[in-house]
Amino acid sequence: MAKVIIWIHDKALNHLFLQALDDHTRAVFVWDNQYFQDRSYSLKRLVFIYETLCQMPVDVIKGDTLEVMRSLAPNEVRTWFTADTKIKEIARLLSKNCNVEVIKPQPFAQISEAYEFARFFKYWNKAKKTAFLKNGSADN
């Protein structure tokens, strides 16, 4: 039987993402202190991530993300799309050892994938124009 790992990263903390869980998959979040430090995450953001993970059926493993994922020796890794270049790089490196499936969820808002936002305020200024529209339009 194939060993399938669902990699939950900090850009994919939605419970809906775990619908892919079944008897043959394991959901994993890697608590990577170096990754968080490199990203300059605040204590407030780390607490949010931690509290969200506490409400999810996911194993939290401390260590370097790439090393931990490789040590799990999966045949397949499933994760969710993000425009975040660091997460994309980790997925690319993982794909050298196993099949990596990147799932693209239904977007909350219609924003170009080229944007990377450091602060929620900047994201929201772009997102609010389409966030509450059905299929990106005002028609219901």
Mean pLDDT of the chain: 82
> 131 pLDDT band (50/70/90 cuts)?
low
Averaged over 61-86, what is the pLDDT? 92
- What tens digit of pLDDT does each residue of 61-73 get? 999 999 999 999 8
pLDDT over 90 (residue 9): yes
What global pTM score does this model have?
0.73
The arrangement of strands across the sheet holding 76-80 comes to 59-62, 25-31, 4-7, 76-80, 99-103
- The beta strand positions in 37-94, using DSSP E, are 59-62, 76-80
93 CB contacts (<8 Å, ≥6 apart)?
66
Output the pLDDT for position 116: 67
Say whether 41 sits in a helix, a strand or coil.
coil
Averaged over 17-25, what is the pLDDT? 68
How far apart CA 119 and CA 117 sit, in angstroms, is 6
> 57 pLDDT band (50/70/90 cuts)?
confident
Higher pLDDT, 132 or 104: 104
Domain boundaries of the chain, sorted by first residue: 4-105, 110-140
CATH architecture of 4-105: 3-Layer(aba) Sandwich (3.40)
